[in-house]
Amino acid sequence: MKPFEGIKVLDLTHVLAGPFATYQLAVFGADVIKIEMPHDPDQTRTLGADPALDREKMGTFFLSQAANKRSMTVDLKTEKGREILKRLVKEADILVENYRPGAMKALGLGYEEMAAINPQLIYASMSAFGQDGPRGTQTAYDPNIQATSGLMDATGTQESGPLRGGTSAIDYASGTTGAFALSMALFQRSRTGKGQYLDMAMFDVSLILMSTHLAAFMRNGSHPKRHGNKVGVSTNCLFETKDGLIQLAASNMRQQRRFWQAIGRPEMAKDTNEERRADYERECEVIAEIMRTRTAQEWEDFLQGNHVPATRVRELRDALADPQLESRNIIKRFDGAPGVEGPFAVPVSAVKLKYGDGGITAPPPRFGEHNDQILASLGYSQEEITLMRSEQVIGEQVPDGTVREASNA
């Protein structure tokens, strides 16, 4: 039995952080229903590396976090649309939304209203800055949070100035935190029988990701500096080799001694971190000269063989070709899927379980693919479903895989 088997999740989120949180539950067995506005699909459906998929509303951004989910389109600004959501809430365990703070409450779909329908419901709101406070009404994406939290200012070098991270790390960290929070609420409910409201902010997550910087500053005002690839001790730095770059990470005292012994300079080993920092420049010069004598892969093999953490800098294509991945089951490959012509692959999870492990059993869904199925399960007749289509309460998934959207009128 998978951990979240039997758990029903209503996913009213868009872009990356929210959908990634619910995706982790879907990977481990939850029945996740992704709910989108008929005339305003999740923007990730039209974002990615393949324009053809963008046109099909199956962009690679969407594919990366939508497998195992069912798709439903409902206009929550209509009375019938809100009634559909309320019927779903009656039998749901979790509802996750990341609309502008206050938007769901303004529709009569906030936590208090939903908890009155289902007292055991776990209702999570994910936002940029939280549901209240001076910034509560502001919106932001990952780069905005990197900028406003100080994380961007701590990234890069003194010469480069602040740099944005190379991936949407705040989004994915927020999604991971969200999945943990939802798991925690489910565990709490199993003991109390009560639902819960979760207020999660990307801004908060970004500060947690800088915990060591935060603690240092709060202790003595030590402001994080942009060190780039050169950090406090030489054996933790990035160096050029004969053909590429090697990242050393001989952090503790034992590792730095093994490193100096392995490269034939045991006299350079130090007894304290203070000594290492004091001799930083000379150590860097010595290491830089030695590292240029071999290729990056040769150094990785040699140093790892001597139990020294060291890895060559790779491109993504190299990382995905690593045979280690075959043993981790982190990627699911498809030969094709409805709305996606040709092979593609999606990430699964960074967690492996001995019993009831996660997995992908269904490809990412087309826009509104499961409208009829879900509405019928709620007791709506085919006549009622047809009428809701004509009234633009729901969208329509036509047989050829394209979507006929409801108008904005």
Reply yes or no on whether the pLDDT at 93 is more than 90.
yes
280, 300, 320 - which closes a domain: 320
* Structural domain range at position 249: 234-320
Question: Are residues 340 and 300 both part of a single domain?
Answer: no
Tell me, what DSSP letter sits at residue 391? T
Question: Are residues 304 and 365 both part of a single domain?
Answer: no
Tens of pLDDT, residue by residue over 135-176, are: 999 999 999 999 999 999 999 999 999 999 999 999 999 999
Question: Are residues 175 and 104 both part of a single domain?
Answer: yes
Sorted by sequence, the CB contacts under 8 Å of residue 264 that are 6+ apart come out as: none
Domain annotation covers residue 296:
yes
Domain annotation covers residue 293:
yes
CATH number at residue 203: 3.40.50.10540
pLDDT at 403: 41
Question: Are residues 105 and 137 both part of a single domain?
Answer: yes
287, 320, 353 - which closes a domain: 320
Query: Percentage of the chain surpassing pLDDT 90?
Result: 92
- Are residues 171 and 201 in contact, defined by beta-carbon separation less than 8 angstroms? no
293, 320, 347 - which closes a domain: 320
Give the model's confidence band at 225: pLDDT under 50 very low, under 70 low, under 90 confident, else very high. Answer: confident
Tell me, what DSSP letter sits at residue 337? B
Reply yes or no on whether the pLDDT at 223 is more than 70.
yes
Give the model's confidence band at 396: pLDDT under 50 very low, under 70 low, under 90 confident, else very high. Answer: low
Reply yes or no on whether the pLDDT at 401 is more than 60.
no
Q: How far is CA 102 from the centre of its chain?
A: 24
Reply yes or no on whether the pLDDT at 398 is more than 50.
no
Question: Are residues 56 and 193 both part of a single domain?
Answer: yes
Query: Considering its fold, how many domains does the chain have in total?
Result: 2
Question: Are residues 175 and 256 both part of a single domain?
Answer: no
Question: Are residues 312 and 339 both part of a single domain?
Answer: no
- Quick one: which of 261, 304, 347, 387 has its CA closest to 63? 347
State the Rg of the chain over Cα. Answer: 25
Question: Are residues 268 and 363 both part of a single domain?
Answer: no
Average pLDDT value for the chain: 94
CATH number at residue 315: 3.30.1540.10
Residue 238 dihedral angles phi and psi, to the nearest 5°: -100, 135
Domain annotation covers residue 213:
no
DSSP of 29-84: T-EEEEEEBTTB--GGGG-SS-HHHHHTT--HHHHTTTTTEEEEE--TTSHHHHHH
Question: Are residues 241 and 370 both part of a single domain?
Answer: no
Question: Are residues 333 and 358 both part of a single domain?
Answer: yes
Question: Are residues 272 and 367 both part of a single domain?
Answer: no
pLDDT at 397: 53
Question: Are residues 96 and 75 both part of a single domain?
Answer: yes
Domain annotation covers residue 215:
no
Residues 98, 103, 109, 112, Cα dihedral to 10°: 90
Orientation of helix 169-192 relative to helix 142-149, angle to 10°: 90
Tens of pLDDT, residue by residue over 357-394, are: 999 999 999 999 999 999 999 999 999 999 999 999 99
pLDDT at 224: 87
Tens of pLDDT, residue by residue over 22-48, are: 999 999 999 999 999 999 999 999 999
pLDDT at 406: 36
